[in-house]
């Protein structure tokens, strides 16, 4: 495991602010209310630990397979249903949504091999990420991976109530590979997948999934 490079600046800022707050607590409460001061120091320490933990990147060997779609995110499956996808496909698709709590790993990995055929960022609101409307109303970033058989999967990063920053590391035309990072969402958020109607779904509501490890669907072969 290592700390993501995008987390170094936020961690530094939190550390500096924590030190300043700790000095303020010491000057105001250190002598008069030592027990209260210690409790507040404890909260500050937990804040630092949580911030560092949020930007952790686990070292995993990705599951691979020609027809497999693997989860791009750690979290809990909150949606498995047929919907109309209006942005790119403009037809009906199977939507699978993974909710990422503030305690999950928040790096996102490509769900399949292929190339990035579409990308678009949408500014928006910051509803709770587990709200069904967050998929179309919240700040979000969509990308489509197209494989060698012209099978396409849309992956949408969605900012939540706490997540105010979506980061992506790829561009249209880039190669996509299992186990390769494509983005990061800072703090609690969600990732949606839009799959063909004939995809074999391998997860169910409430299931805990791991990025690069959990197979969420199997695509029918076009060969």
User: How many folded domains does the chain comprise?
Assistant: 2
What pLDDT score does 174 carry? 94
What pLDDT score does 168 carry? 85
Q: 17 with 126, same domain? A: no
Query: How far, in Å, CA of 108 to CA of 210, rounded?
Result: 10
Q: 119 with 192, same domain? A: yes
Q: 123 with 214, same domain? A: yes
What pLDDT score does 112 carry? 94
Q: 49 with 102, same domain? A: no
The CATH code of the domain that includes 133 is 2.70.70.10
What pLDDT score does 101 carry? 82
What pLDDT score does 160 carry? 65
**Domain for residue 85, yes or no?**
yes
What pLDDT score does 69 carry? 95
What pLDDT score does 7 carry? 62
Q: 144 with 192, same domain? A: yes
**Of 147, 122, 158, the residue nearest 64 (C-alpha):** 147
Q: 37 with 84, same domain? A: no
* 3-state secondary structure string across the chain: CEECHHHHHHHHHHHHHHHHHHHHHHHHHCCCCHHHHHHHHHHHHHHHHHHHHHCEECCCCCCCCCCEEECCCCEEEEEEEEEEECCCCCEEEEEEEEEECCCCCCEEECCCCEEEEEEEEECCECCCCCCCCHHHHECEEEEEEECCCCCEEEEEEEECCCCCCEEECCCCCCEECCCCEEEEECCCEEEEEEECCCCEECCCCCCEECCCCCEEEECCCCC
End-to-end CA distance of the chain: 38
Active site residue 27: no
Task: Using the 3D structure, point to which of 12, 32, 57 is the last residue of a domain.
Answer: 57
Q: What is the pLDDT along the chain (223 residues), one digit of tens a residue?
A: 777 666 677 778 878 888 888 888 777 776 777 788 788 888 888 877 767 766 767 778 888 888 999 999 999 999 999 999 999 999 999 999 999 887 887 789 999 999 999 999 988 665 555 555 556 667 889 999 999 899 999 999 988 655 457 888 889 999 999 989 898 887 668 899 999 999 999 999 999 999 999 999 999 887 6
Q: 11 with 116, same domain? A: no
- Considering the candidates 97, 134, 142, 189, report the single residue annotated as catalytic: 189
Buried b (16+ CB within 10 A) or exposed e, 97-120: bbbbbeebbbbbbbbbbbebbebe
**Domain for residue 223, yes or no?**
no
What pLDDT score does 82 carry? 95
What pLDDT score does 120 carry? 93
Model's pTM, two decimal places?
0.80
What pLDDT score does 208 carry? 96
Q: 198 with 137, same domain? A: yes
Task: Using the 3D structure, point to which of 16, 37, 57 is the last residue of a domain.
Answer: 57
Q: 50 with 135, same domain? A: no
Q: At what angle do helices 34-54 and 8-29 cross, to 10 degrees?
A: 180
**Of 49, 78, 86, 68, the residue nearest 160 (C-alpha):** 78
Domain range for residue 95? 68-218
């Amino acid at each position: 495991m290592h700390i993501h490079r995008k987390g170094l600046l936020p961690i530094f800022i939190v550390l500096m602010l924590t030190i300043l707050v700790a000095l303020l607590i010491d000057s105001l409460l250190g002598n008069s209310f030592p027990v209260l001061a210690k409790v507040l120091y404890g909260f500050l320490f937990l804040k630092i630990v949580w911030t560092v933990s949020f930007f952790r990147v686990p070292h995993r060997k990705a599951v691979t397979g020609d027809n497999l779609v693997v989860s791009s995110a750690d979290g809990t499956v909150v949606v498995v249903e047929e919907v109309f996808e209006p942005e790119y496909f403009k037809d009906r698709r199977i939507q699978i949504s993974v909710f990422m709590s503030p305690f999950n790993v928040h790096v996102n990995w490509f769900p399949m091999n292929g190339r990035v055929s579409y990308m678009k960022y949408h500014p928006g609101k910051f509803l709770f990420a587990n709200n069904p409307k967050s998929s179309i109303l919240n700040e979000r970033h969509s990308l489509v991976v197209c494989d060698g058989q012209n099978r396409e999967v849309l992956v949408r990063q969605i900012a939540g109530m706490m997540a105010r920053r979506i980061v992506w590391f790829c561009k249209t035309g880039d190669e996509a590979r299992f186990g390769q990072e494509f983005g990061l969402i800072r703090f609690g958020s969600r990732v949606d997948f839009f799959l063909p109607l004939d995809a074999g779904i391998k997860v169910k509501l409430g299931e805990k999934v791991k990025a690069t490890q959990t197979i969420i669907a199997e695509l029918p072969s076009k060969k």
